[in-house]
Amino acid sequence: MENPLKIGIAGVGTVGASLVNVLNNKQNALANRCGRRIDVAAFSARSRDKDRGCDLTGAEFFDDPVKLAQSGIDVFVELIGGEDGAALESVRAALKSGKHVVTANKALLARHGVELAALAEENGLILNFEAAVAGGIPIIKTMREALSANDITRVYGILNGTCNYMLTRMENEGISFEDCLADAQRLGYAEADPTFDIGGFDTAHKLAILTSIAFGSQIAADEIYVEGISNITNADIEAAHELGYRIKLLGVCQKTASGIEQRVHPTMVPLESEIAQIGGVTNAVALEADIVGELVLSGPGAGGMATASAVAGDICDIAKSRPGRQIAPALGRPAAELEPYRKARMRTHEGGYFIRFTVRDKTGVFASIATRMAEHDISLDSIVQHAPARPVEDGEAKTIILITDETTESAVRAAIEAIEGDGHLIARPQMIRIEL
């Protein structure tokens, strides 16, 4: 058997400790599968002596992750987090020092992925990052390796467990967004500052990586339309269910005639669809390709063990690699051959829309709204008064819900602007895209 593969772990928090336990507990099995033993030779953390619930006996401690990256290890595992700072500096140092890299850091890759992929290629090194997108779901390997013969046209999915958990509970229990968020924070599913999750930015980082691999384009995290779930109400969820839909926060990327479209937003999906069945903190990724057709992968999207599983898998791939064999590009094709990102205009997006208006209950409002839609060539699949009129300060209000046939976003936004100008609305309208 070959010499052990010596790994250094930077960041021994929940994921890092889980990884150490996996590697220690399965050392013999992994050695048999990989043809060599995998040893945790060193680690870096804020404190040397903290009890982390894992055995690091014999592992050398570094207080500086850059020094760890430059030490005598074979593989540098970055679990620090963040798009810059110590994470970026240490990964760069590892690649420049001839160390393979495994990272779970989506923010780092969304911002610097092309640069780091090029650096790995220049030095003949492996850069693996399965855990950066959808936790334990092997979507990166599936797209980068198993589907090499396919041309992918569309990728979409539930990429954030916090948002999926909240939308599931709001539907099942009828609790408000605010109460659900407080519970999610208490249970550890949401951070003290939940903006990154509920604002859609976590999903956007993951989507940017998937887009690059799917379409062979440069990573363009700043070119994503992002809309979170904070404006979703129980009324929206109830109305969606009555109409045969469920609301999910989706990340979607697809090729269009005008370029590549990347968007993150609440979406109404048919109740009978596979993606609608994914509840709680579970993630799911669906893709459409010319040979395989549609493929859906689902599983745990976060958590110590799920993420550690993906990191361990990446380490095992490196352990199985042998000198002289060609190394696959980190982003599916050489970094220098990634095409410049060409952004599709968001307002050319076509699909159906759910639109909820709260209006003054008076004669002619219904007809006025329908007329504005017709003026913008929007065909309506259904138009209903969702609830009885209720008292407001200057009269009564009622809710009108529209479901449009396929149309463009620019047309929908123009029609809504015209309706707002007519003075019938007493609250901001709600618009949710429908994906079939």
- Residues annotated as part of the active site: 206
129 vs 193: CA distance, rounded Å: 26
Cβ atoms < 10 Å from Cβ of 12 = 25
Nearest to 82 by CA among 52, 114, 104, 66: 104
Radius of gyration of the chain (CA): 24
CA distances to 87, 265, 268, 287, 300 from 273, rounded to whole Å, are: 39, 18, 11, 14, 19
* CA atoms within 13 A of residue 205's CA, in its CB half-sphere: 23
Query: Is-contact 251 195, C-beta < 8 A?
Result: no
* Exposure b/e, 162-198, CB count within 10 A at least 16 = b: bbbbbbbbbbeeebebeebbebbeeeebbeeebebbb
CA separation for the pair 14, 53 (Å, rounded)? 9
